[in-house]
Amino acid sequence: MDILLATSNEGKIKEFKKLFNNHEIFSLADLNIEDPIEDGKSFIENALIKAKHGSSMSKKYTIADDSGIVVPALNFEPGIYSARYSGKSASDKENREKIINKLTKLNIDSADAFYVCVLVGLRSPNDPMPIIAQGEIHGRVAIKSSGNGGFGYDKIFYPNNYDCSMASISEEEKNKISHRAIAVENFFTAFKTQDTFS
């Protein structure tokens, strides 16, 4: 079955293609569909906006995610603004540096944090019963940056029960423990109650 993954984020596309390896995955870029304006106030709202837009434009089963990192000590920032924390066209490095600078100003070298991913699946733009699934991974963000893998905030995020950053964990391991992997597992559990793939 063809699935539209309603994102243009190369890092997310790479991860999802591995997680959904039994299906043909298309991205917005593959179908020349522009990203919608994300003006929701929560992860769920933004995921729904992206899913409805993608489904309407592609006529394919559409899965959209909205994800980010949350640092309670920084007033729960960056949250839904994770991808553009330092500005609309900010790089991952600039976004990480903003967190590092804020921690430094608080005179702390790390703080509790968690990654969250919300997935929404729609059979059509007007699907009255969307699948909504969530995944989280908890740990700490630190002023110390390490690792060469991953993307986003992975270089400064240290998951609980690991002595290294998310960017130092193998892709295989990350695809088992990440917020996105957990959300996908929960998504498929809900999927089984629908006749989507029959």
Report the distance separating Cα 125 and Cα 161, nearest Å: 40
How many CA atoms does the CB half-sphere of 140 hold within 13 Å?
A: 14
Structure tokens at 82: 């994770």
Among the options 39, 65, 66, 92, which is catalytic?
A: 66
E strand spans, 72-142 = 77-78, 110-122, 131-142
Contact 48, 40 (CB under 8 A): yes
Place of tokens 């699935």: 3
> What region, left, alpha or beta, does residue 79 occupy, with left being phi > 0 and alpha being psi -120 to 50 degrees?
left
Tell how far CA 193 is from the center of its chain: 24
> What region, left, alpha or beta, does residue 5 occupy, with left being phi > 0 and alpha being psi -120 to 50 degrees?
beta
Bridge partner residues of 132 (DSSP): 120
Helices 10-19 and 179-191, interaxial angle, to 10°?
Answer: 50
Check if 66 is active-site.
Answer: yes
Residues forming the active site: 66
